[in-house]
Amino acid sequence: MREALKRKATEKMEGQLEHLRHEFTGLRTGRASVSLLDQIKVDYYGTPTPLKQVATLATPESRLITVQPFEPRLLKDIEKAIMASDLGLTPASDGKVIRLPLPPLTEERRKDLAKIAKRLAEEVRVHIRNIRRDVLDEVKKLQKDSKVTEDEAKKSHDEIQKLTDGYIQKVDDVLKKKEAEITEI
């Protein structure tokens, strides 16, 4: 019983950590990355479709992203979708390829991005703590129903707390790495 609860908590906490890593890929650092465009959807025959499914994305230089649509008629729609996004990028098109030059980040923008990263990390920490609370509530319920002994409940509590502390530390490590990327010039 204890192992099942621990496994369930581990899976949920790992999911939250992966969510944070995914969110961080969308945060712009000083380098070009095609993952910046992951959130952009293009109107493809009336269906909002992720950009990477209708175009080839590449980073030929450290401050440039190129977008080459599979169908040339999508060029204008892709440009509109990029302009409508909150990335602050201005597309430059030559009729076949869209170039997205990434301007260097200002110090103020770097600070804003670091604040966003901290906020995202704190949200994940809260979710991890909520997972801990839910699992501990299940343990208390099992103890109340006499399905686990008081000693087993105490061991479960200690294991779940240790697991939670480990995942909070992992979140902090991921945050430190992202902050270093953001503030790196």
- Give the pLDDT confidence of 41-64 residue by residue, as tens digits: 998 888 999 988 999 999 888 888
Which sequence spans correspond to the domains of the chain? 2-26+106-183, 34-101
CATH 1.10.132.20 fits domain 2-26+106-183: yes
Q: What percent of the chain has pLDDT over 70?
A: 98
Give residue 25's pLDDT.
79
* 17 pLDDT higher than 90: yes
Strands (E), 7-148: 41-44, 47-50, 55-61, 64-69, 92-93, 98-101
* pLDDT at residue 7 in the model: 92
Residue 12's pLDDT is what? 95
Reported as a single tens digit per residue, the pLDDT across 108-145 is 888 888 898 999 999 999 999 999 999 999 999 988 88
Distances (CA, A) of 105 to 97, 108, 137, 152, 181: 24, 8, 46, 53, 12
Distance separating alpha carbons of residues 50 and 27, to the nearest angstrom:
17
Residue 59 has a CB neighbour count (10 Å cut-off) of 17
Assess whether pLDDT exceeds 90 at residue 167: yes
The first and second tokens of residue 91, run together, are 């597309």
Question: Residue 146: is its pLDDT beyond 90?
Answer: no
Of 26-30, 75-79, 141-145, the range with the lowest mean pLDDT is 26-30
Q: Which fold has domain 34-101?
A: Gyrase A; domain 2 (3.30.1360)
Answering whether pTM is above 0.85, one says: no
pLDDT greater than 80 at residue 15: yes
Q: Rounded distance, CA 6 to CA 9, Å?
A: 5
pLDDT for residue 147: 86
Res 129: pLDDT: 96
Whole-number Å distance between alpha carbons of 90 and 82 = 8
